[in-house]
């Protein structure tokens, strides 16, 4: 990483969450309650070094199953989008801002932020007459809260933040207050956060208690990658005979280092031992490689599997709703539907309600009353009711149907029984 020039030199920061470094693993203070705001900067830091959002999104990008669960939960919560039979509300859902994106697109971004960071932010733009309202998603990783509790501060890169005079810093009032923008319109940022005791400023994602499992899963993936790149070669010692002087050893060192330098970090897996001949004409033996045997491979594989299974639990999610290839029983239709119904009652609808209430309150302050606003929930697979007539099933499936057709006035259950009897008596 390139160094940064600052007017006030400061000690080098401790290693953070860049590339494949997963430290610090829990960069979070015990509480974000502020007793003396004068000791702080302009903003309330999120994490000890204000870099927790970057660490969380880094985990979401690096750990496959963790990301799959975040994507899965987001998709199930959003469902097939949102709808309304009210003309005004429906018009807003089609054009919520001047970016010409459907409101379901904006809502999906908010949902993903909420699940990843425990916080999400959206911006309201209106005029003094409240004759219109636009809604924009704000990237939660770029938003911090002002110490006065009345403003949201937005910066593209908080590592480069230079204080109040930073030209890249944008300040917008927190809802329910509005502030005038350079465009002459009123702006306000709405903060939706996941509740966490002792945290009054920021929310904490629901999976945070099990973040070590997320980190373990990421590290075991890196270990698997390293093993694959090294062709599963074991570290060890290369014994080279016939090196009878310091000059020979130095020259051989240079050759080996030039060769091993092309292997990057794997060069540290091999140690060298040079052996001199015991006497003129008497060799010290043959070149041989002595591996350092480790009996940890099985433990690593078990740890990897265990950590990925644990991710489903810490996310408060369900195996059959997670795209996880090792769950062989996850594709049983009965289990999928049962777990979907439980998820609907315990996870999906409660989070939908959080967004519904927030949007209803915020948009009402801008003159827009959300009416008949609802999420379009759809199970991943459909279950045919055996007590329906065939014409009803065809109708619900979008096929042509005829209520007067005798063949379609048979119960699905009767068809199943007929099929079973025909199989027994061909």
User: Are both 277 and 157 inside the same structural domain?
Assistant: no
Q: Are residue 161 and residue 263 in the same domain, yes or no? A: no
Between these two residues, 31 and 87, which has the higher pLDDT value?
A: 87
Please, where are the H alpha helices in 230-314?
246-260, 297-314
Do 216 and 316 lie in one domain? The reply is yes
206/132 same-domain check: yes
Residues 364 and 320 grouped into a single domain: yes
Quick one: average pLDDT of 300-326?
A: 77
Percent of the chain at pLDDT > 70 equals 70
Are 349 and 268 contained in the same domain? Answer: no
Same domain, 139 and 249: no
Mean pLDDT, residues 388-414 taken together: 79
Q: What pLDDT, on a 0 to 100 scale, did the predictor assign at position 210?
A: 84
User: For residue 184, is it left (φ>0), alpha (ψ between -120 and 50) or beta?
Assistant: left
Interval 132-161 mean pLDDT = 93
308 and 163, same domain (yes or no): yes
Which has more pLDDT, 215 or 175? 175
- Does the pLDDT at position 293 exceed 70? no
Nearby residues of 337 by Cβ (< 8 Å), 6 or more positions away: 379, 381, 383
Mean of the per-residue pLDDT values for the chain? 79
Q: What pLDDT, in 10s, does the model give residues 54-93?
A: 889 988 988 888 999 999 999 999 999 999 999 999 999 9
Q: How confident is the model at residue 26 (pLDDT cuts 50, 70, 90)?
A: very low
192 and 150 housed in the same domain: yes
Q: Which two tokens stand for residue 324?
A: 């996880």
* Residue 13 pLDDT level (bands cut at 50, 70, 90): very low
Confidence of residue 260 (pLDDT cuts 50, 70, 90): low
Shared domain for 257 and 314, answered yes or no, is: no
Q: Kindly state whether residues 32 and 101 are assigned to the same domain.
A: yes
The yes-or-no verdict on residue 149 having pLDDT over 80 is yes
Provide the pLDDT for residue 128.
94
The Cα–Cα gap between 353 and 403 comes to 39
Yes or no: say if 32 and 44 are a contact pair by the CB < 8 Å rule: yes
Number of domains in the chain: 3
Q: Is 235 a residue whose pLDDT tops 60? A: yes
Distance CA 213, CA 304 (A): 9
How far, in Å, are 74, 75, 132, 140, 349 from residue 104 at the CA level? 12, 11, 19, 18, 16
Statement: residue 349 has pLDDT above 50:
yes
84: containing domain: 1-233+294-380
**Alpha-carbon separation of residue 12 from 2, 362, 378 (angstroms):** 13, 43, 51
| pLDDT band of 9, cuts 50, 70, 90 | very low
Give how far Cα 120 sits from Cα of 110, 148, 322, 358, 422, Å.
Answer: 6, 19, 23, 11, 58
The rounded distance, in Å, linking the Cα atoms of 364 and 289 is 75
Do 217 and 205 have their domain in common? yes
Q: Is the pLDDT of residue 6 over 80?
A: no
Q: How many CB atoms lie within 10 A of CB 260?
A: 15
pLDDT category at 326 given cuts 50, 70, 90 is low
């Amino acid at each position: 990483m390139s160094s940064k020039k600052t007017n006030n030199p400061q000690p080098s920061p401790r290693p953070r969450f860049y590339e494949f470094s997963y430290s610090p693993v829990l960069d979070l203070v015990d509480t974000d309650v502020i007793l003396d705001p004068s000791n702080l900067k302009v903003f309330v830091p999120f994490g000890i070094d204000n870099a927790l959002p970057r660490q969380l999104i880094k985990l979401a990008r690096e750990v496959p199953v963790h990301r799959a669960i975040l994507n899965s939960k987001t998709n199930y919560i959003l469902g097939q989008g949102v709808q309304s039979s009210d003309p005004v509300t429906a018009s807003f859902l089609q054009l919520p801002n001047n970016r010409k994106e459907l409101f379901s697109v904006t809502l999906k971004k908010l949902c993903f932020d909420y699940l990843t960071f425990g916080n999400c932010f959206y911006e309201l733009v209106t005029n003094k007459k409240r004759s219109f309202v636009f809604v924009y998603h704000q990237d939660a990783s770029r938003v911090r809260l002002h110490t006065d509790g009345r403003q949201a501060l937005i910066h593209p890169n908080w590592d480069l933040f230079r204080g109040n005079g930073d030209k890249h810093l944008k300040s917008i009032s927190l809802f329910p207050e509005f502030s005038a923008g350079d465009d002459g319109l009123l702006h306000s940022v709405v903060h939706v956060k996941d509740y966490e005791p002792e945290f009054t400023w920021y929310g904490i994602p629901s999976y945070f208690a099990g973040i070590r499992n997320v980190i373990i899963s990421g590290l075991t993936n890196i270990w698997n990658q390293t093993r694959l790149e090294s062709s599963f070669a074991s570290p060890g010692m290369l014994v080279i005979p016939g090196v009878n002087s310091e000059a020979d050893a130095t020259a051989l060192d240079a050759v080996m280092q030039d060769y091993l330098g092309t292997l990057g970090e794997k060069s540290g897996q091999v140690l060298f031992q040079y052996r001199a001949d015991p006497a003129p004409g008497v060799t010290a033996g043959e070149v041989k490689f002595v591996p350092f045997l480790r009996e940890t491979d099985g433990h690593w594989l078990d740890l990897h599997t265990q950590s990925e299974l644990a991710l489903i639990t810490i996310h408060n999610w369900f195996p059959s709703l997670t795209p996880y290839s090792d769950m062989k029983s996850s594709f049983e239709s009965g289990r999928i539907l049962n777990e979907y119904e439980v998820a609907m009652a315990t996870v999906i609808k409660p989070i939908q309600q959080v967004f519904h209430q927030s949007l209803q309150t915020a948009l009402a302050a801008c003159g827009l009353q959300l009416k008949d606003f609802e999420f379009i929930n759809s199970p991943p697979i459909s279950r045919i009711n055996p007590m329906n007539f065939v014409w009803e099933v065809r109708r619900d499936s979008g096929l042509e149907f005829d209520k007067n057709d005798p063949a379609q006035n048979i119960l699905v259950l009767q068809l199943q029984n007929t099929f079973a009897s025909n199989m027994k008596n061909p």
